[in-house]
Amino acid sequence: MPTSSPPAARRVAFVDGVRTPFGRARKDGLYAHTRADDLAVRTVRELLRRHPQLPPERVDDVALAATTQQGDQGLTLGRTVAMLAGLPPTVPGFAIDRMCAGAMTAVTTTAAAIGYGAQDVTVAGGVEHMGRHPMGFDADPNPRFMAERLVAADALNMGVTAENLHDRFPALTRERADAYGVASQEKFAKALAAGQIEPDLVPVALRDPARGWGLATADEPPRPGTTVEAIAGLPTPFRPGGRVTAGTSAPLTDGAASCLLAAEDVAEELGLPVRMRMVSFAYAGVEPEVMGLGPVPSTEKALARAGLTIDDIGLIEINEAFAVQVLSFLDAFGIADDDPRVNPYGGAIAVGHPLASSGVRLMTQLARQFEERPEVRYGLTTMCVGLGQGGTVVWENPHFTEDAR
């Protein structure tokens, strides 16, 4: 009988990433009259436009995530968006859901296929129209979760899980969280002024029945000029007398992000850039009632698989669902609240968190920081995930040079 050996693992390249401007999820928000799938289509089209050397038929798969897969962000998003974006009908696609880590999981799932040799080029991303589809809307959790005490009663409310972190770790004070939230706004405003945000944005045409046509070119959520004094008196909506406020939480947001991945040898063949190389990735579970701790074990696993320690990591892009969640990660690894490695462009507290799309935003920003920082060899993207999970991807900087250190 014929025998064959398994294919050798191939290096996976992050070729490029783009995102829409993010809008506030409300009735008068930026995308109140825009379909979720159209936001995703815009990002995929932009990737193809930016890389005309890529024959569309060479895309092997399209993986797109959404947390609430219904209505205009349902119906097997990867396939429908691929068709709407003009990819040939021979290009397949699928939808994926790991709540906040949806786009991250779309990346790691298709990257694994590339690394194994089953695919050469993929598109991965996510979209969330939280104004139209609030997280958990119309969900029907199995009553066993409560009846058998599989999770705490408050585990399904993300804001309450953030309050639980404050309870569990006395060092995570309201004052530290407020200071971190303000710093996120300041860093984002500085990055925007320095031209570090706009290159990754794709404009989106808007149609409003009352105001006519428009064009989304900038993020709506940021609040530049926010001060600690201004947010000190904000209410605590998740608990009377609590510590989590709007100033230390990511706002509800609409938006989409997508990226292009390829085997490194295929990228070279097609003349595609290699902006990052994937080193390792990991997902981990924690108690759902303290879901913000998820990035700690997932990062420990990803670093161990890469043979690295946190001291080897020169840039960290961590999703800011809540300030206290980021602070718990920093404390676990002995990192200072103001460490310059962490979220140099600010984070979701400023720019927003359209759930399933945020993983690719983190990656796209890290890729740009790698270009700016050739002295940094390794970076990571990490995030907490609803229902008690964490996800982490370790990346290598292709621009790294010893001389730059």
Cβ(160)–Cβ(237) below 8 Å: no
Confidence of residue 4 (pLDDT cuts 50, 70, 90): low
352 confidence band (pLDDT: 50, 70, 90): very high
> What does DSSP say about strands 121-129 and 61-65: parallel, antiparallel, or unpaired?
parallel
Cα gap 358→320, rounded to integer Å: 10
Give the separation between CA 237 and CA 69, rounded to whole angstroms: 27
Q: Is 384 a catalytic residue?
A: yes
Residue type, 283: Y
12-133+252-276: what fold? Peroxisomal Thiolase; Chain A, domain 1 (3.40.47)
- What are the distances in angstroms from CA 1 to CA 4, 8? 10, 22
Spell out the residues 6+ positions from residue 126 whose beta carbon is closer than 8 angstroms to its own: 40, 64, 65, 66, 96, 102, 103, 106, 256, 257, 258, 354, 355, 356, 357, 358, 359, 360
Task: Tell me what pLDDT residue 113 has.
Answer: 98
- Which helix (H) or strand (E) covers residue 205, if one does? strand 204-208
Return the CA Rg of the chain: 20
* Mean predicted confidence (pLDDT) in 295-316: 98
pLDDT at residue number 320: 98
Measured CA to CA, the distance from residue 313 to residue 317 in angstroms comes to 11
Q: Sorting pLDDT into bands at 50, 70 and 90, what band is 293? A: very high
Q: What is the pLDDT of residues 221-230, one digit of tens each?
A: 999 999 999 9
Determine contact, residues 180/337, Cβ cutoff 8 Å.
yes
Q: What is the pLDDT of residue 1?
A: 54
Rounded-to-integer distance, Cα 272 and Cα 205, Å = 28
Q: How far is CA 339 from CA 62, 120, 317, 350, in A?
A: 36, 37, 12, 18
Active site residue 33: no
Residue 2 confidence class, pLDDT cut points 50, 70, 90: low
Position 3 scores a pLDDT of 59
Rounded (5°) CA angle 88-89-92: 100
The rounded mean pLDDT for the chain is 95
> Please, where are the H alpha helices in 27-86?
36-50, 77-84
Question: Could you confirm whether 100 is annotated as catalytic?
Answer: yes
Report yes or no: 61 and 93 within 8 Å, Cβ to Cβ: yes
- From 100, 129, 166, 259, active-site residue: 100
How far is it, in rounded angstroms, from Cα 241 to Cα 251? Answer: 20
Output the 3-class SS for 274-288. CCEEEEEEEEEECCH
Q: Is 385:294 a contact under the CB 8 Å cutoff?
A: yes
Q: Residue 155: what pLDDT?
A: 77
pLDDT digits (tens, 9 = 90+) for 319-336: 999 999 999 999 999 999
Query: What is the per-residue pLDDT across 105-142, written as a single tens digit (0 to 9) for each?
Result: 999 999 999 999 999 999 999 999 999 998 877 778 88
* Among 276, 267, 266, 300, residue whose Cα is nearest residue 286: 300
Picking from 19, 41, 22, 20, the residue whose alpha carbon sits closest to that of residue 30 is: 22
Q: What are the C-alpha distances in Å from 180 to residues 143, 338, 347, 350, 382?
A: 37, 8, 10, 11, 17
pLDDT exceeds 90 at position 7: no
Q: Catalytic: which of 129, 133, 166, 353?
A: 353
- State yes or no: pLDDT of 195 exceeds 80: yes
pLDDT at 73 over 70: yes
pLDDT mean over 143-167: 86
Q: In terms of residues, how long is the chain?
A: 405
